Structure 1
Amino acid sequence: MPGVHCLACQPGGRGVILRNFGTLTGMSISPPQLLRTDTPDGPCAVLRGRWGAADLGQRAQWRVLRRQLAALPPAPDLAWDLSGLQWLDHVGAQLLWNHWGRAWPARLVAGDAHRTMLERVARLSVAPAPPPPPWRLMNQVHRLGELVLHAMEHVRFFVQLVGQLGLDVLRLARAPRRGPWRDLSGHLYRMGTTALPITALVGFLIGVVLAYLMALQLRQFGAESFIVNILGISLIRELGPMLAAILVAGRSGSAITAQIGVMRVTEELDAMRVMGIPQGFRLVLPRALALMLAMPLISVWTTLAALAGGMLAADLTMGITPAYFAQALPRAVQVSNLYLALGKSAVFGVMIALIGCHWGLRVKPNTQSLGEGTTASVVNAITVVILVDALFAILFKNVGV
């Protein structure tokens, strides 16, 4: 067959002509075959027939060809003669390339069309992914160590942030006229005033749901009047402050991280450092003070909305009038519960602001880091709110009860 030649694949490249194996007979359409012959240069695997998708897809022919391929594994001294092929498409070429171990054989006889097909398959074939490494204890220990070191780095940065906040508070006390009061008032409005509608709505609905659920149980024992005690102590002491803190953490905490993160992306933080403007005094301090002042007020607002919802549901389900509810509430809940709620709400506000500033200052100058930092800020703030609330519940378990 004209144009048939042999390629020897060397480490530096493939493509030197060795010899011509001659023209093979049997050009009539025949199934794919693989035969082994001996030549003066050594053993040779001769391919015949049609090596296409339609022919290889027939079950009987594929079984025979699979046994023939298994009997001729690739070897350094084994030549491959493709000059007798009547048809070769991508499926047949991929089958040969995989059988060769994704490497060119030392001796190959192929026509120009077949060689082009094989080169295309070799170029486009993707190497199989390496198997995952076996599970080893040392690898898991190293991974755990990396996580611990990463967490300790965040703790160290957060402690530095808290210490810097304390120094900034002392600086503000020494020179109150130089304080960032305009920033403080702006943050009070954005984090406090604009949060009142959503906190009131959520608090009202929570009060309605709690009152309806309690009514179903208290009616069975004829203790409908105790709904005032249950709603009062649960909403004023626990649910009101925690609901407000979670809403503010998702709303204002993410905004703090996004604002400072955008300043990192736009290199405003670097400009502040070059100009000698302290980032803690201008960025962290006003946000922490604003949330410390706004959170107790938002907590009281959310609690009042929840009590209003519970009062309405109690009136509709059990006939407890709002007048009786308002008269019985001061006797059922001591005022110390309100003081405790206000105190821990202020702590919630400071923690939310510090966590938002922490993740905002650690944002890298790219949008992906900004999104990851905002998500981490919200998750960590909500987690810390729940942990601090549990700590307050343990420390002050005998207060107001």
Structure 2
Amino acid sequence: MQIENAPTLTLESPDAGSPQSVVANGIWQVHALAQCGAIKTINATLTSLKDKPALVWDLTQIVRLDHIGAQMFWNAWGKQRPAQLQLAEKQEELFKRIEEASKLQMPRTRPNRFNWVMTLGSGMLNFFEHTQGFIRLIGQVVQDIGRFIRHPMTGPWREVSANIFHSGFQALGITALVGFLIGVVLSYLSAQQLRMFGGDMYLVNILGMSVIRELGPLLAAILVAGRSGSSITAQLGVMRVTEELDAMLVMGISHGYRLIMPKVVALAISMPLLVVWTDAMALIGGMVSAKVELNLSARYFLQKLPDAVPLSNYIIGLLKGTTFGMLIALVSCHFGLRIKPNTESLGRGTTTSVVTAITVVILADAVFAIIFSGVGF
């Protein structure tokens, strides 16, 4: 498409012995260069003229020139003015700015051999800062629970019930599916190995102990940390972004009593129930797989389960569920309250919260394994 005053380059040869001159005409602005589609052609022409330092460049015929057009000339000149250049008065100021900008150099920084020490120190300080804030949050929750016990009639019962519904009831589906599949896989693989040694009857012992004592609480906690933990952090983060937390403080409403404590209490109540539910689904999956692989009836499985798994293992599993639930709620609230009022911090804080909650759950499970290593066998 042709436009009026389209940018053009003309190579003129005056008298013999005189240097050639390049005359630019038209509008050398970005919209004109884009509309006429001449950028590639002009760039190719300018590139072909790079190795001709004796040329005379005449830009006085240009109607309008912006920084984009001037930069095209500047690149063709090798980022320095040619020996013979004719410019209009306004063009002189534009090329002077480009020339001064091209002289700027980024400061060179020498690699510091102690960077790793600074990184390690910063990481440790950040860790201790989070630890201090987490301990302060635990103390605040303990105080709020004490207040809740002293004045139960004015407590946040609706918030607690709502969090039990969201974190507990709505997680039944995913925990049932994952628990059932884990039970099937564990029973199937164990049955293949036990069949080689004629130990089919010990499948109930292996499946019962592993699911009720370890896998059930751990699976439920990881699923809740990824599902409900991220939701808690995102909720508090959005309230920070929308300044709802500041509004609550202005109205004299405590964050801990109305937001954090109900979530901790709700997860402490719902997590043991989810553990029982996950254990039951995993055992049902194990029974189905045992029936298919070893032809063990469900009746035999249920009769042998109480003898194979002592009662203390059920108690340890429930205790793990309560502890994991409180840790997930505390970690999620801790990172939710530290989110800054911008969307980037919201996404980063939610991701960090989920990863930290899962890590804390696994560490707590290891502590349980060490403390109760001689119980329930």
The verdict on a shared fold, with TM-score over 0.5 as the criterion, is yes
Q: Percent identity?
A: 48
Name which of structure 1's ranges 288-297 and 152-161 shifts more when overlaid on structure 2.
152-161
Q: In the comparison of the two structures, how many residue pairs are matched? A: 334
Give structure 2 stretches of 5+ with no counterpart: 1-14, 22-41, 59-69
**1:313 CA drift (Å):** 0.5
| 8 Å contact kept, 2:272–2:319 | yes
The 3 A distance-change label for structure 1 pair 197 and 126 is farther
Q: Normalised by the size of structure 1, how large is the TM-score?
A: 0.74
The 3 A distance-change label for structure 1 pair 308 and 134 is farther
Write the distance in 1 (CA, Å) between the matches of 2:251 and 2:123: 36
| 8 Å contact kept, 1:53–1:92 | no
Q: Which position in structure 2 is the counterpart of 1:338? A: 314
Q: Which position in structure 2 is the counterpart of 1:94? A: 75
Write the distance in 1 (CA, Å) between the matches of 2:286 and 2:104: 63
Q: From 284, 304, 308, give the equivalent of 2:280.
A: 304
Q: From 295, 299, 304, give the equivalent of 1:323.
A: 299
| 8 Å contact kept, 1:24–1:84 | no
Q: Which position in structure 1 is the counterpart of 2:36? A: none
Q: Which position in structure 1 is the counterpart of 2:344? A: 368
Partner SS, residue 84 of structure 2 = strand
Write the distance in 2 (CA, Å) between the matches of 1:185 and 1:328: 37
**1:212 CA drift (Å):** 1.3
Write the distance in 2 (CA, Å) between the matches of 1:178 and 1:325: 48
Q: Which position in structure 2 is the counterpart of 1:291? A: 267
Q: Which deviations, in whole Å up to 9, do the C-alpha atoms of 1:337-375 show, x marking residues without a partner? A: 110010011000000001111111111112221111111
Q: Which deviations, in whole Å up to 9, do the C-alpha atoms of 1:133-178 show, x marking residues without a partner? A: 4542222222222222222221111111001011111111221212
Write the distance in 1 (CA, Å) between the matches of 2:210 and 2:296: 18
Write the distance in 1 (CA, Å) between the matches of 2:110 and 2:55: 41
| 8 Å contact kept, 1:348–1:385 | yes
Q: Which position in structure 2 is the counterpart of 1:277? A: 253
| 8 Å contact kept, 2:248–2:255 | yes
| 8 Å contact kept, 2:46–2:73 | no
Q: Which position in structure 2 is the counterpart of 1:148? A: 124
**1:82 CA drift (Å):** 4.7
Write the distance in 1 (CA, Å) between the matches of 2:291 and 2:104: 69
1:134-213 maps to which residues of 2 (within 5 A)? 134-213=110-189
1:240-251 maps to which residues of 2 (within 5 A)? 240-251=216-227
**1:25 CA drift (Å):** 2.3
The 3 A distance-change label for structure 1 pair 183 and 151 is same
Write the distance in 2 (CA, Å) between the matches of 1:367 and 1:380: 20
Q: Which position in structure 2 is the counterpart of 1:255? A: 231
Q: Which deviations, in whole Å up to 9, do the C-alpha atoms of 1:243-289 show, x marking residues without a partner? A: 00000001111111111111111211111111111111111111100
Q: Which deviations, in whole Å up to 9, do the C-alpha atoms of 1:215-246 show, x marking residues without a partner? A: 22112112122111111110000000000000
| 8 Å contact kept, 1:93–1:117 | no
The 3 A distance-change label for structure 1 pair 342 and 129 is farther
Task: Give the letter aligned to residue 187 of structure 2.
Answer: A
Q: Which deviations, in whole Å up to 9, do the C-alpha atoms of 1:189-223 show, x marking residues without a partner? A: 11111111110011001111111111221121121
Name which of structure 1's ranges 120-129 and 205-214 shifts more when overlaid on structure 2.
120-129
Give structure 1 stretches of 5+ with no counterpart: 1-22, 30-50, 70-80
Task: Give the letter aligned to residue 194 of structure 2.
Answer: L
| 8 Å contact kept, 1:90–1:121 | no
Q: Which position in structure 1 is the counterpart of 2:85? A: 110
Write the distance in 2 (CA, Å) between the matches of 1:295 and 1:265: 29
Write the distance in 2 (CA, Å) between the matches of 1:129 and 1:353: 51
